[in-house]
Structure 1
Amino acid sequence: MQTIILAVALVSSIAWTNAAQGPLLLPAQESLAKIQRHGYVPFKRHIPSNLNLRGGGKGNVLITGGAGYIGTHCAVTLQEAGYTVMILDNFSNSCKKSIERVGEITGKSIEKVFDVDIRDKAALDKVFKENKVDAVIHCAGLKAVGESVREPIAYYENNFVGALNLIKAMSAAGCKKIVFSSSATVYGNPAKVPITEDFPLQCTNPYGRTKFFIEEMLRDVANADPEWKVINLRYFNPVGAHSSGKIGEDPSGIPNNLMPYVTKVAIGKLEKLTVFGDDYDTPDGTGVRDYIHVMDLAKGHVAAVDKLFSIEGEVVYNLGTGHGYSVLDMVKAMKEASGREVPYVIGPRRSGDVPTCYADAAKAKQELHWEAKLGVKEMCQDAWNWQCKNPNGYREEAELAGAKK
């Protein structure tokens, strides 16, 4: 009589090899009677798909736009969580030095970096054909609201067409797990706050519409093909930097986002801040936003990638703190963090902006087991630390001098 010994592993299953049949898996929850009757249960049916049995780690994650602000912070948190990170970027608004800094923080360099534009379908196909990619975080794209109003065609071409090319390349390679960096701009001007994921979507600018159309495309793809697993992350307003000061937000030219502009004014790189409108229906008349520390946001991406391996179809999550702060609140907080004055003037409202926008992130807390931990004080302290340690961003003084010649 054959003796069967059961061992319960942390993954609630055990594996062994049958000489005739190859690798097999015995789930701990299977009854002994069923096992004796059938002999075994096929290994493939029960192994958790986020386990990389080929040599450690959780799997290979490709970050598009991985040299940028969000991408680099995601790369750090993914590496620290045990994933192998690959980066794809065209470096139009970023540089390779940011990727080197990720390696300095984690102690592990990113070996695969692809200098590719997501509008180049052939180049994308080559990346997926030649590399094993288990999941994608799609961060690449243009992201300035005001610029999108002035140059809508560029935004539709870069953001929407680029995403379409990416989905095609992924599908052809059999890689069907994606976390998409969407935005709270898809909600437009909400009737009330805080905003939950089931709020009506009513974009007020081309940037927001590109995010909305990409979400809809991914939703349709997931509905048509059950192998696709999609998580759309609607982030609110990322600010701050890694506490080491090695990576942070480094916009090309004049910043479009509030906090890098504020830090450049505080350090003396820019003369004054222009506040776009002080006649909104808010406590101090300036726009109110849900500012979230970029490291909290990055950890939300790790939670989303983990979740990809257990969901069905497409899921949406807000990533925010659930608290709204005005432009002048943030100016005051940066003044306290830096000990510097932040001169400002009031300008006209900016086209496409909404008065108030902040999240209800309860769904992410419940299903992703994630919530923002860091407050405005830490956001400003880390943003200031990055600015002081990198007054010219990732560019060295020698590079800047050379560029002026």
Structure 2
Amino acid sequence: MNILLTGGAGYIGSHTYLALAEAGYTPVIVDNFSNSHRGVLQRLQAITERPVLCEEGDVLDTAWVEGVLRKRRIGGVVHLAGDKAVGESVAKPLKYYRNNIGGAVSLLEAMQAAGCEVMVFSSSATVYGDPASVPIAEHFPRSHTNPYGHTKLVIEDMLAALNTAQPSWKIAVLRYFNPVGAHASGLIGEDPSGIPNNLMPFIAQVALGKRAHLQVFGNDYATPDGTGVRDFIHVSDLAEGHVAGLKALLERGESLTVNLGTGRGHSVLEVVKAFEAASGRPVAYQFAPRRPGDIAQCYADPSLAEQLLGWRASRPLDQMCADSWRWQSKNPDGYR
């Protein structure tokens, strides 16, 4: 079956491409390469030893997307395309509302016109805002603390409304926690442009000597070592979660919403120490004041995903760090 993978050349998209291919699907990438690299395509071909199908364009172009869906005879869509930096969303909210919400509306209209009603949607734990307790379960109240999180929440509501109006749609909403790591081959991984927004690539660049030190925002939280605690999940586990979600939709035909996380939190300093052990390099850090909107701890209750999808994260923190280091050390300049 051909599966359309929007944002398929990105960090999560490229790993999901491999998981889909390994499961016997034929992924077709749609990407405008605004935040990804064409070099990814050659790496994917090297890993799979198969030609990579890619259509370059923007999901905001509804007619073009419909044409791709028809031409490629798409049986389902995994929707990952969108802007994802929390800080940028605060500075440029209109960009996020246009690209994320507008892109989702455009894609859904194209799918409807082409008669494709199966979607796996990349949501986020940001829809829980600042949770009252942990671990976080799917029934917890939703809120948002930034425009990026708001776009995910709005799209979730939009999908629910569509499913109510047209029950023939099959939709899986996957709420990610913190994806890290890289493919075991070291050929693909996270390649942020400019200063990394995420912890792991920043740590990796410090270990490599590209940055002087890591800033740890806050060391006075009510956590074991005072630093923030997050649920870090290996990107390959996350990719396999997309395949499990797609299979559940195709086999059972029931829409669902699940967390994709490990169920365990690791503090910033725990991650630093694990990365030092994996790389054999020191990671210098300095404490800085808390950032507005940051919370003390956030980790998932992933039991529903195991119950509904038969999926469970299996790669521990030391493997996340080892795979990140392999990617970073083999590709010090990323895909460039």
Q: Fold conserved (TM > 0.5)?
A: yes
The structure 2 residue matched to 1:130, chosen from 71, 74, 78, is: 71
State the match for 1:119 in structure 2: 60
Supply the distance in 2 between the matched residues of 1:179 and 1:207 (Cα, whole angstroms): 19
Q: Hey, what does 1:163 align to over in structure 2?
A: 104
Determine the structure 2 residue equivalent to 1:198: 139
2:86 to 142, 145, 163: 145
1:390 alignment partner in structure 2: 331
Question: Residue 46 of structure 2 corresponds to which residue in structure 1?
Answer: 104
1:106-143 residue CA offsets vs partner (Å, 9 max, x unmatched): 22221x21111222223223222322110010111111
Match of 1:183 in 2: 124
Matched ranges for 1:362-377 at <5 A:
362-377=303-318
What's the secondary structure of 1:309's corresponding residue? helix
Superposed displacement of residue 325, structure 1: 0.5
**Which residue among 8, 18, 22 is the counterpart of 1:80?**
22
Answer with 1 or 2: which has the greater Rg.
1
Q: Which structure 2 residues correspond to residues 285-324 of structure 1 after superposition, within 5 A?
A: 285-312=226-253, 314-324=255-265
Residues 314-368 of structure 1 deviation map (CA, whole Å, 9 limit, x = unaligned): 3101111000011111111111111111111122322332221100111111110
Distance in 2 separating the partners of 1:104 and 1:204: 41
How far residue 258 of structure 1 moved from its aligned partner, in angstroms, is 0.6
Of structures 1 and 2, the one with the larger relative CO (CA 8 A, separation 6+) is 2
Residue by residue over 1:139-180, the C-alpha shift from the partner in whole angstroms, topping out at 9 and shown as x without a partner, is: 111111122122211111111111111111111100110000
* Aligned residue in 2 for 1:212: 153
Q: What is the aligned counterpart of 1:266 among 207, 220, 224? A: 207
State the Cα RMSD in Å. 1.1
Which amino acid is the alignment partner of residue 356 of structure 1? Q
In structure 2, the residue matched to 1:279 is: 220
Q: How far, CA to CA, are the matches of 1:351 and 1:178 in structure 2?
A: 34
1:291–1:321 CA contact under 8 A, matched in 2: yes
Q: Distance in 1 between matches of 2:293 and 2:162?
A: 29
Q: Is the 8 A contact 2:249 2:255 kept in 1?
A: no
The TM-score, its normalising length taken from structure 2, stands at 0.97
Any conservation in 1 of the 2:216–2:287 contact (CA below 8 Å)?
yes
Q: Aligned residue for 1:173?
A: 114
Match of 1:346 among 287, 293, 297: 287
Query: What code does the residue aligned with 1:67 have?
Result: A
- 1:223 alignment counterpart: 164
Is 1:67–2:9 an aligned residue pair?
A: yes
Partner of 1:337: 278
Give the TM-score normalised by the residue count of structure 1: 0.81
Q: Secondary structure of the equivalent of 1:67? A: coil
> Quick one: distance in 2 between partners of 1:148 and 1:280?
25
Deviation string 1:156-212 (CA, Å, 9 cap, x unpaired) is 111111111111111110011000010011011111111111111021111111111
Structure 2 residue runs without a partner (length 5+):
none
Q: Say if 1:181 and 1:213 are closer, same or farther in 2 by CA, change over 3 A.
A: same
Output the CA distance in 2 between the equivalents of 1:194 and 1:350.
22
Does 1:93 pair with 2:35?
Answer: yes
Shift in Å, 1:313: 5.0
Identity percentage over the alignment? Answer: 56
Aligned with residue 381 of structure 1, among 290, 310, 322: 322
How far did residue 279 of structure 1 move? 2.4
Measure how far apart 1:105 and its partner are. Answer: 1.1
8 Å Cα contact 1:146/1:351 also seen in 2 = no
Question: In 2, distance between residues paired with 1:352 and 1:224?
Answer: 35
Paired amino acid for 2:42: E
Q: Take 2:183 and 2:47, find their aligned partners in 1: how far apart are those partners?
A: 9
Give the paired residue count: 336
Counterpart residue identity of residue 314, structure 2: K
Q: In the TM superposition, what is the alpha-carbon distance from 1:226 to its structure 2 partner?
A: 1.6
Task: Supply the distance in 2 between the matched residues of 1:148 and 1:346 (Cα, whole angstroms).
Answer: 25
Distance 1:352 1:175 in 2: 38
| Contact 1:64/1:71, CA 8 A, preserved across alignment | yes
| Structure 2 residue identity aligned to 1:202 | S
